[in-house]
């Protein structure tokens, strides 16, 4: 199953999934641009962004369809969240912290990345955490877990958080609580470039917004996450065809073709 949705005659923007995005910062505004772009191009019905004004302006210049909100504006009408990309917990202000905790406590599925990983344990609904290797080690340390075996780290974090963990890398491991795992091998090493993780977070958010009810089951949530990692790789491979160097935005721009190919299988 692709876990993607094509709209039917009865669908509207809300039934296709409203994605709430709390990503980017004054230091790293591009993370929001990439994540929002990916969410739209994966098929989201609506994308709402909570961010500082500079981040909003950059996102709107690229994707004017996006509905923007200030960090102190209350969340509403969101089916799934993308949290933390392009943020640093050490620089987080009280308004951002409050918003992240409100999103995590909403019960809606959340993709938790980078600067929100330290708050992931506060979730009240389904969570997909997307750390790279260094973030995975820091997350375990923050929970007081010392794990020398790198093969076990994602499983330990999944159990500790009660979340699906996507350990990003050339071979990306998707681990559910209880230890069930899948490994997705990247079809191109061109994904080793800045911002591709932000694209992955955005596309996962769109998939979860469209399948929010299914995501309540941990095993299904892991399957959706693995399908998203595969889709990410397929878009990257299309962008890098012929050995071309690529940027993260290239990956996002090739998502519609990758989505269409999956839906046609």
Asked whether the whole model's pTM tops 0.75, one would answer: yes
Supply the pLDDT for residue 149: 79
The 10 Å Cβ neighbour count of residue 1 is 10
Q: State both tokens at 109.
A: 């599925």
CB 76 within 8 A of CB 95: no
pLDDT digit of tens for each residue in the chain (265 aa)? Answer: 789 999 999 999 999 999 999 999 999 999 999 999 999 999 999 999 999 999 999 999 999 999 999 999 999 899 999 999 999 999 999 999 999 999 999 999 999 999 999 999 999 999 999 999 999 999 999 999 988 878 899 999 999 999 999 999 989 999 999 978 999 999 999 999 999 999 999 999 999 999 999 999 999 999 999 999 999 999 999 999 999 999 999 999 999 999 999 999 8
- 118 assigned binding-site residue: no
Edge-first strand listing for the sheet containing 67-69: 67-69, 46-50, 18-22, 80-83, 110-112, 127-129, 164-167, 171-175, 181-185
pLDDT of residue 1: 77
- Residue range 62-106, pLDDT digits in tens: 999 999 999 999 998 999 999 999 999 999 999 999 999 999 999
- The answer to whether residue 46 sits within a structural domain is yes
Residue 13 annotated in ligand binding: no
Domain that holds residue 223: 18-131+193-263
106 Cβ contact list (under 8 Å, min separation 6): 75, 78, 81, 124, 125
Report whether 86 belongs to an annotated binding site: yes
Distances (CA, A) of 185 to 25, 153, 182: 31, 18, 10
Instruction: Give the C-alpha separation, 83 to 103, whole Å.
Output: 8
Query: Is 155 within the bounds of a domain?
Result: no
To the question of whether residue 171 is assigned a binding role by annotation, the answer is yes
Specify the pLDDT at position 179.
Answer: 77
Q: Is 168 annotated as a binding residue?
A: yes
Report DSSP state, residue 243: G
| pLDDT value of position 70 | 97
Whole-number pLDDT of residue 240: 98
Q: Looking at the domain assignment, is residue 209 inside a domain?
A: yes
Locate 64 and state its tokens: 């004017």
**Is 195 annotated for ligand binding?**
no
Tell me if 197 is assigned to a ligand binding site: yes
- Cβ-based neighbour number of residue 138 at 10 Å: 14
State the Cα–Cα distance between residues 210 and 192, nearest whole angstrom. 28
Region of 163 (left: φ > 0; alpha: ψ -120 to 50; beta: rest) is beta
93 is in an annotated binding site: no
In a domain, 185, yes or no: no
In a domain, 227, yes or no: yes
Nearest to 29 by CA among 80, 76, 74, 88: 88
- Examine residue 126 and state whether it is found in any structural domain, yes or no: yes
User: Does residue 222 lie in a domain region?
Assistant: yes
Q: Was 170 annotated as part of a binding site?
A: yes
CATH, residue 124: 3.40.1190.20
Where would I find the H helices in 5-152? 30-42, 53-62, 94-104, 133-142
Do residues 32 and 86 touch, judged by C-beta distance below 8 A?
yes
What local confidence, expressed as pLDDT, does residue 256 receive? 98
Please tell me the total count of domains within the chain.
Answer: 1
In a domain, 142, yes or no: no
């Amino acid at each position: 199953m692709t876990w993607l949705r094509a709209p039917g005659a009865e669908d509207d923007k809300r039934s296709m999934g409203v994605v709430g995005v709390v990503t980017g910062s004054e230091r790293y505004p591009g993370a929001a641009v990439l994540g929002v772009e990916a969410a739209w191009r994966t098929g989201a019905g609506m994308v709402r962004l909570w961010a500082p004004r500079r981040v909003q302006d950059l996102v709107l210049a690229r994707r004017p369809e996006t509905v923007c909100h200030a960090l102190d504006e209350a969340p509403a009408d969101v089916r799934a969240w993308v949290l933390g990309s392009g943020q640093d917990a050490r620089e987080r202000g009280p308004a951002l912290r409050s918003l992240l905790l409100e999103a995590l406590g909403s019960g809606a599925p959340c993709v938790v990345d980078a600067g929100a990983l330290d708050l992931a344990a506060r979730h009240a609904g389904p969570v997909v955490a997307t750390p790279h290797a260094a973030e995975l080690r820091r997350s375990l340390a923050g929970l007081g877990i010392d794990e020398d075996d790198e093969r076990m780290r994602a499983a330990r974090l999944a159990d500790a958080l009660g979340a699906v963990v996507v350990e990003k890398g050339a071979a990306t491991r998707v681990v559910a609580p209880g230890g069930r795992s899948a490994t997705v091998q990247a079809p191109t090493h061109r994904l080793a470039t800045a911002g591709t993780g932000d694209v992955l977070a955005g596309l996962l958010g769109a998939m979860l917004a469209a399948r929010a009810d299914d995501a309540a089951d941990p095993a299904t949530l892991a399957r959706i996450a693995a399908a998203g990692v595969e889709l990410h790789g397929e878009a990257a491979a299309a962008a890098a065809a012929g050995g071309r160097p690529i940027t993260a935005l290239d990956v996002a721009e090739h998502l519609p073709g990758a989505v269409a190919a999956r839906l046609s299988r």
